[in-house]
Chains A and B, each alone.
Chain A
Amino acid sequence: AQSVAQPEDQVNVAEGNPLTVKCTYSVSGNPYLFWYVQYPNRGLQFLLKYITGDNLVKGSYGFEAEFNKSQTSFHLKKPSALVSDSALYFCAVGSNYKLTFGKGTLLTVNP
Chain B
Amino acid sequence: DAGVIQSPRHEVTEMGQEVTLRCKPISGHNSLFWYRQTMMRGLELLIYFNNNVPIDDSGMPEDRFSAKMPNASFSTLKIQPSEPRDSAVYFCASRQGGDNQPQHFGDGTRLSIL
Q: Residues of A at under 8 Å CB distance from B?
A: 32, 34, 36, 41-46, 49, 51, 90, 94-99, 101, 103-104
Query: B98-114: which have CB < 8 Å to A?
Result: 98-100, 102-108, 110
Q: Are A90 and B50 in contact, with the CB atoms below 8 A?
A: no
The smallest beta-carbon distance between A100 and chain B, in angstroms, is 8
Q: Are A97 and B102 in contact, with the CB atoms below 8 A?
A: no
Q: Are A99 and B45 in contact, with the CB atoms below 8 A?
A: yes
Q: Are B105 and A45 in contact, with the CB atoms below 8 A?
A: yes
Q: Kindly identify which residue among A41, A45, A96, A104 contacts B99, using a CB–CB cutoff of 8 Å.
A: A96
Q: Kindly identify which residue among B55, B103, B107 contacts A41, using a CB–CB cutoff of 8 Å.
A: B107
Q: A32-B100, A103-B42, A104-B42 given as contacts; is B31 within 8 A of A97 (CB)?
A: yes
- Report A-chain residues with C-beta under 8 Å of the C-beta of B55: 97
Q: Residues of B at under 8 Å CB distance from A?
A: 4, 31, 33, 42-43, 45, 48, 50, 55-56, 91, 93, 98-100, 102-108, 110
Number of residue pairs spanning A and B whose beta carbons lie under 8 angstroms apart: 48
Q: Report Cα–Cα, A78/B32, bound state, in Å.
A: 31
Q: Are B48 and A97 in contact, with the CB atoms below 8 A?
A: yes
Q: Are A90 and B43 in contact, with the CB atoms below 8 A?
A: yes
Q: Report Cα–Cα, A96/B58, bound state, in Å.
A: 14
Q: Are B91 and A43 in contact, with the CB atoms below 8 A?
A: yes
- Report A-chain residues with C-beta under 8 Å of the C-beta of B102: 34, 46, 49
Q: Report Cα–Cα, A34/B103, bound state, in Å.
A: 10
Q: A97-B31, A97-B50, A98-B45 given as contacts; is B108 within 8 A of A43 (CB)?
A: yes
Q: Report Cα–Cα, A98/B104, bound state, in Å.
A: 13
Q: Report Cα–Cα, A94/B108, bound state, in Å.
A: 21
Beyond A46-B104, A101-B42: 8 further Cβ-contacts under 8 Å?
A: A51-B100, A90-B43, A94-B99, A97-B48, A97-B99, A98-B56, A99-B33, A99-B45
